[in-house]
């Protein structure tokens, strides 16, 4: 797949020959320098943006350029509607899809429960911490029961402790709900802690620079972060990223 942005006769190539197969239920993490096209790639997979060439195949079906349909997106900046409560934010996608009120509230409540926010159902976004707002963002994405969850640096705006907590929560939700995940981050530690497989992208125009399987058992435990295997993988990825930036 390839993508370029065009403005005033200038062409900015953003993704070049990017091709990737993501098996069902995989937790895939995309790592890459700022501006290499990670968000663009997720938007293309989500269908809110079109590629110039290539297609997005989901469960055997060509979904290029269409939205909804099995994909849920979680954004770094949460993107909640400030005038809606937790419950109404989470139910929003179902409302758009024409799901009846009783059913959408029931689904929304069970997703809110999944992220541990049941007692904040009636709170507005400004009454919630950043970590809680992102839990709402995750519940909202889950509410439409997507087969694939697209997460664009979802914890990038959170403090380190909250980030660690949400990583563990996400892993347990992922294990229970059985979803495929494509998770974008620029934290190497976060990538190794979460992923089954890590894809390292080159600087713009983004293409695949390296793919690594992550060898740790699940459920993941905090202490892998100080193991020699973890540190070795981290330094290998760091070297690859640095080499990419030199060219």
Cβ proximity to Mg ion: between 47 and 154 the closer is 154
Smaller CB separation from Mg ion, 2 or 39: 39
Span interacting with Mg ion, options 37-45, 67-75, 123-131, 163-171, rule CB under 5 A: 37-45
Rg (CA), the chain: 18
Q: What's the token pair of residue 55?
A: 């297609």
34 is an interface residue for ligand ADP by CB under 6 A = yes
Closest approach, Cβ 115 to ligand ADP, in A, equals 25
Binding mask 152-191 for ligand ADP (x = CB under 6 A): ----------------------------------------
Task: Burial-class residue 123 by CB neighbours within 10 Å (0-12, 13-18, 19+).
Answer: middle
Whose tokens are 């060898």? That residue is: 215
Place of tokens 């059985």: 178
- 166 by Cβ neighbours in 10 Å (0-12 / 13-18 / 19+) ranks as buried
**Least distance in angstroms from the C-beta of 8 to ligand ADP:** 11
In the list Mg ion, ligand ADP, none, the entry touching 14 (Cβ below 5 to 8 angstroms by class) is ligand ADP
The item of ligand ADP, Mg ion, none sharing an interface with residue 5, based on CB under 5 to 8 Å by kind, is ligand ADP
Cis peptide before 205 (omega within 30 of 0): yes
What span, in angstroms and rounded, lies between the C-alpha atoms of 171 and 230?
18
Q: Which residues contact 55 (CB under 8 A, 6 or more apart)?
A: 1, 62, 64
With CB under 5 to 8 Å by kind, the binding choice for 119 among ligand ADP, Mg ion, none is none
**Residue 36 contact among ligand ADP, Mg ion, none, beta carbon within 5 to 8 Å by kind:** ligand ADP
CB-based contact 174:193 (threshold 8 Å): no
Applying CB under 6 A, among 28, 29, 31, 36 the residue interacting with ligand ADP is: 36
Q: Does 204 bind ligand ADP (CB under 6 A)?
A: yes
User: From CA 201, how far away is CA 195, in angstroms rounded?
Assistant: 15
37 binds, among ligand ADP, Mg ion, none (CB under 5 to 8 A by kind): ligand ADP
| Binds Mg ion by CB under 5 A, chosen from 2, 39, 66, 187 | 39
* Residue 3 near ligand ADP by CB under 6 A: no
What DSSP designation does 202 have? P
C-beta of residue 197 within 8 angstroms of C-beta of residue 191: no
List the x/- string, 37-76, binding to ligand ADP by CB under 6 A: xxxx------------------------------------
- Positive/negative CA dihedral, 210, 215, 221, 222: negative
The footprint of ligand ADP (CB under 6 A) covers 5, 12, 14, 32, 34-40, 204
The footprint of Mg ion (CB under 5 A) covers 38-39
């Amino acid at each position: 797949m390839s993508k370029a942005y065009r403005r005033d006769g200038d062409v900015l190539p953003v993704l070049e020959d990017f091709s990737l197969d993501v098996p069902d239920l995989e937790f895939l993490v995309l790592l890459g320098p700022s501006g290499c096209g990670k968000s663009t790639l997720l938007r293309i997979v989500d269908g809110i943006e079109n590629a110039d060439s290539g297609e997005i195949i989901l469960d055997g079906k060509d979904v290029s350029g269409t939205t909804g349909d099995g994909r849920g997106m979680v954004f770094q900046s949460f993107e909640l509607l400030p005038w809606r409560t937790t419950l109404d934010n989470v139910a929003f996608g179902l409302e758009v899809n024409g799901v009846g009120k009783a059913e959408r509230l029931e689904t929304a409540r069970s997703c809110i429960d999944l992220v541990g926010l049941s007692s904040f159902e009636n709170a507005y976004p400004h009454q919630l911490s950043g970590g809680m707002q992102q839990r709402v963002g995750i519940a909202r994405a889950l509410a439409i029961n997507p087969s694939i969850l697209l997460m664009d640096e979802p914890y990038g705006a959170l403090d380190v402790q909250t980030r660690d907590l949400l990583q563990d929560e996400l892993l347990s939700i992922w294990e229970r709900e059985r979803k495929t995940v494509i998770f974008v981050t620029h934290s190497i530690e976060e990538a190794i802690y979460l992923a089954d497989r890590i894809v390292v992208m080159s600087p713009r125009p983004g293409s695949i620079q390296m793919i690594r399987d992550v060898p740790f058992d699940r459920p993941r435990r905090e202490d892998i972060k100080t193991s020699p295997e973890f540190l070795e993988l981290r330094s290998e990825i760091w070297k690859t990223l640095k080499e990419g930036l030199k060219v």
